[in-house]
Structure 1
Amino acid sequence: MKFWKTFDIEVIKFREGQHEIDFEIGDSFFQHFEDNEILEKGNLTTRVIMDKGVNVIELTFHIQGTVQLTCDRSLEVFDHPLDITEKMIYKYGSEEQEIDENVYMITRDTPSINVAQLIYEYILLALPAKKIHPDYRNELDDEDFDGEGGFVYFDEDQEEFEEEEDVKEEEETPKPIDPRWEQLLKLKNKEQS
């Protein structure tokens, strides 16, 4: 219980205007989240800039430091740097409820806002999908982009040109079409007409 209280911002005590609140994030922080299987250690500082207005409280989170990750490839532990800036808006209303992922409604007599869960989520969202030790990143760049799973970009003119070429080919040599593609083509043609 004491842990959670250290991440309370007692908004009711602050006057309107801008205020800065700092939080230190150490290894023990990550142990308080049950669903945590990725992070166990980290050394981060979170500066929350609170802009308190008449009808809204805007919190800007700036999180900096390192977290310890395990490489997906070598299983070696390494420090991953983080530098995150996120915003959360609290609007005054009749009840406490989440409006969307960046806006939350609170009542005027809400004494405090606990930011521990937000900080934890911002850190998790900033982690890379592939956790690769810095020693192996250059090797992985060469392997990952061998043509499979890459993105291909082309503009509409190119698409029209290719469609014209496809029509010419179909006129010359009719080929059986996969029924799934046939359904998609019908939908596409229906949209265009």
Structure 2
Amino acid sequence: MKFLQHFDIEVIKYREGAHELEFQVTDRFFDEFEDNDLVNKGNLTVRVKMDKGVNLIEMDFKIQGSVHLTCDRSLEEFDYPLDIEESIIFKYGSEEKEIDENIFMITRDTPSINVAQLIYEFILLAIPAKKIHPDYRNELDEEESEAEGQYVYFDSESEKEEESSNDEPGSIDPRWEKLKKLK
């Protein structure tokens, strides 16, 4: 856990105004998280633009790089590029708590904010649910486009013709007409 202290932003040291910070996310970063099943390796650069005001601190995160994933289809490993932009607001208040997913309350005497967990969550949320190796993405797109037409039983032209014939007064659907003959 000492490694994650590298991701502390000592907000008490900074004056009001804009500040820029940079962090490097490597394999060691992902090793620090116990519940990490999705990402074990990666190389990313995190740039934080911090705007410290009188009543709040606004942080804009720009995360760029790649993470090492395992394909769900072929189990081959591949690098997945990431380009993430997120914003977090820290408001000053009487206690430390999470107000919203993007708004946190901190006390005025909070010496530092550790952004490691935020960065980790941003990375995990940017990973697609279906991790497909780039070599198999084209095959997947073709399969999906072929499967799209499998469940269509009529085309829109015949449907429009039926609707227009049913709208005319006195016209009877030919199917109903044949049923009337059975009487």
Measured against the shorter chain, the TM-score band is 0.7 to 0.9
- Read off the aligned partner of 2:141 and give its amino acid letter: D
Larger Rg: 2
Gaps of 5+ in 1: 151-161, 174-193
CA contact (8 A) 2:4 2:29 kept: no
1:147 is matched with 148
1:33 is matched with 33
1:70 is matched with 70
1:135 is matched with 135
- Read off the aligned partner of 2:54 and give its amino acid letter: V
State percent identity of aligned pairs: 69
Gaps of 5+ in 2: 152-159, 167-172, 177-183
- For residues 57-101 of structure 1, give each alpha carbon's deviation from its aligned partner in whole angstroms, at most 9, with x where no partner exists: 000000000100001111100001001000000000111010000
Q: Distance in 2 between matches of 1:131 and 1:98?
A: 31
CA contact (8 A) 2:17 2:53 kept: yes
Superposition CA RMSD, Å: 2.3
Query: Where in structure 2 are the equivalents of 1:6-155 lying within 5 Å?
Result: 6-145=6-145, 146-147=147-148
Q: Distance in 2 between matches of 1:70 and 1:110?
A: 40
Partner of 1:6: helix, strand, or coil?
helix
Q: Distance in 1 between matches of 2:91 and 2:144?
A: 45
Q: Distance in 2 between matches of 1:129 and 1:32?
A: 23
User: What's the CA shift for 1:102?
Assistant: 0.3
User: What's the CA shift for 1:4?
Assistant: 2.0
- Read off the aligned partner of 2:85 and give its amino acid letter: T
For this pair of structures, how many residues does the alignment match? Answer: 158
Partner of 1:39: helix, strand, or coil?
coil
- For residues 112-144 of structure 1, give each alpha carbon's deviation from its aligned partner in whole angstroms, at most 9, with x where no partner exists: 100000000000000111111111111100112
